[in-house]
Amino acid sequence: MREALKVWLRNEKEIEEAIIGGEKVQVIESDFGASELLIDFLKESGLWDILTTMPITMGKNNGYSGNVILGILILKELMAVGKIAAAGKIIQDGKLMADIGFNIERIKKREKEEKGVIDLGTLRNHLKKIPQDESNKAFYEHISLLRDKRWIRGKEYVADAVELEVPYGETFEGMGRVYKKKEERYKYGYKLELLMNVTTTGRLRFIGAALAPINSDERALLITILEKIEKHLGKGKVKDIIDSLTLDRGYWGAHFLWKLKHRWGIDFVTLVRDDDLDFVKHVEYYLDGVEPTFKERWITVKKRGKKEKKKIRLCGINGLSLRRYTDEGKKKDLGKVNCVVVIDEYKKRIRRRIYVTTLNAKDDPFKIYRLYKDRWTIENQGIRYLSQRWSIRDFAGRTLNSIQARILTVLILYNAVKILEMKYEDKMEKLKKKMREKGERSYLSGCALVVYGRDKYYGIFSGVEYARLTTKRRNKEIAKELEKMLVEKASKKKIVEFVKRLIRLALGISTPTSISKKKIAEFIERLKQE
């Protein structure tokens, strides 16, 4: 059996009718402590609205509004990372459910579908109705919100790309093909370019993404991200947001680097592509002629899973010539850049690396070295985490609309989780207090009981409201039993004894010594009205 989600929509009227009608219902006591603070955070911050209001093209939504479908998809993604309980009803807190308007639970899809059962594949297909322009707009709207709330700090960034391979033999819209020499095979799929803020370890944020065929150039995709930032956040925002950008050697291209600095106003740090470049010869000529002083630093590295100290030697050089680093990028043209030379021991051999940058390398070469080391952050804490915990390599469908919409949704949720972890880092007592406050607020607002019924609906009631409804149900049952007695012409004595017992046990009033059928009928009508 395939896994599916059962959707419960909030509808107090339906539940009231079910309770009064004597239908089977399930009652759960609201408890904020058993729910996830993340959902509340998404609602309060405005991220929930951004995610659930992405416009779609025309089409049916399985009887549910678009914001409910997208909300269900959010919860589905959060279940995968353990942020939502994976068993039974997913959310049991009255306040949260009042906010989002629905609840879901994981079930196994049977051959005969029941009310409210939606196959996960059907949910994912909803994403194909979201145009790429709209998912892009939502993503950068969330970036604007994070900046307004100062949840993105610092201006040090790293860019990297990850390949998303499609299953062999299957066709997906807009996929590409590239030959991998090491693997001796063709690889089919997409390339996802990511831009990440790495200024502070605890404040990692994805602020840009671009999806394209797997054979696309990372440099072109990076420019696409910068253009999207300018389009959605405003002209000149790239320079305002980014001070330094670290890139691996795969982005090498002197004219491309010139554009980053002179068109976009971004200082870059990268590793020289290979030792055959004439720029390397310029560096060697400088080292041999000037013999600059190398500074020594001890750094901490991991070796076989253990941390150990390692010594490196660094030297910063400003004003070296780089071919094609000009406006036109012609071969004969030369432009000035800076570099840092790092010498260390690797696999029992002396190793030399040359970092190229537009930042001042001579005064603080270790800063350049540190910035390049941050490149591993996007690989280890970004891409790897997205793959292992968020299943970023899983496709939501075969269309570019659905694939991109899910990826951008996951990136927004990734940022939200990181922000929440930051807000409550080492503050568990504060978090518990927050939960207690929320829980009390739920009860004080009258949202103490969650009642499920009719295979599709739930309602949120106070204890008093629920008691009133069950009293109505009992009164109807009494009236029905009395009517049955009258129709079947039960003995007067039997009817009177029944009424006496009901009045004594249920209504708490004195029992009349005698009672007529007319009075019994009036009593029945009063019960019906109640």
Tens-place pLDDT, residues 390-445: 889 988 889 999 999 999 999 999 999 888 888 776 655 565 565 555 544 444 34
Beta strands 205-213 and 185-197, pairing class: antiparallel
Q: Could you give the CA distance from residue 141 to residue 127 in angstroms, rounded to a whole number?
A: 18
Distance in Å from the first CA to the final CA of the chain? 46
- Angle formed by the axes of helices 400-423 and 132-148, nearest 10°: 10
pLDDT of residue 401: 94
pLDDT of residue 302: 76
Q: For residue 49, what are the contacts with CB-CB under 8 A and spacing of at least 6?
A: none
pLDDT of residue 422: 82
Q: The whole model's pTM is what?
A: 0.81
How would you write the pLDDT of the chain (530 residues) with one tens digit per residue? 456 777 888 888 999 999 988 888 888 776 554 456 778 888 889 999 999 999 887 665 556 777 888 888 888 888 776 666 555 676 666 666 777 777 777 666 554 555 667 766 667 778 888 999 999 999 999 999 999 999 998 999 999 999 999 987 788 999 999 998 888 899 999 999 999 999 877 688 999 999 999 999 999 999 999 999 999 999 999 999 999 999 999 999 999 999 999 999 999 999 998 888 989 998 999 888 888 889 988 988 777 778 888 889 999 999 999 999 999 888 888 999 999 999 988 777 888 999 999 999 999 999 999 999 888 888 888 888 888 888 899 888 899 999 999 999 999 999 998 888 887 766 555 655 655 555 444 443 445 678 888 888 888 887 778 888 888 887 777 777 777 767 666 666 666 666 666 654 444 445 454 555 565 666 666 656 65
Q: Which tens digits make up the pLDDT trace of 230-260?
A: 999 999 999 999 999 999 999 999 999 999 9
- Record the tokens describing residue 80, joined without a space: 């995968």
Nearest one of 142, 84, 189, 247 to 403, comparing CA atoms:
189
Q: For residue 449, how far is the Cα from the chain centroid?
A: 29
Cβ–Cβ under 8 Å, residues 107 and 113: no
Q: Could you give the CA distance from residue 183 to residue 187 in angstroms, rounded to a whole number?
A: 9
* C-alpha distances out from residue 134 to 53, 138, 182, 332, Å: 10, 6, 38, 44
Q: Could you give the CA distance from residue 9 to residue 16 in angstroms, rounded to a whole number?
A: 14
pLDDT of residue 505: 47
pLDDT of residue 408: 97
H and E: helices and strands count for the chain:
19, 16
List of domains in the chain: 31-130+395-437 (no CATH), 152-394 (3.90.350.10), 462-529 (no CATH)
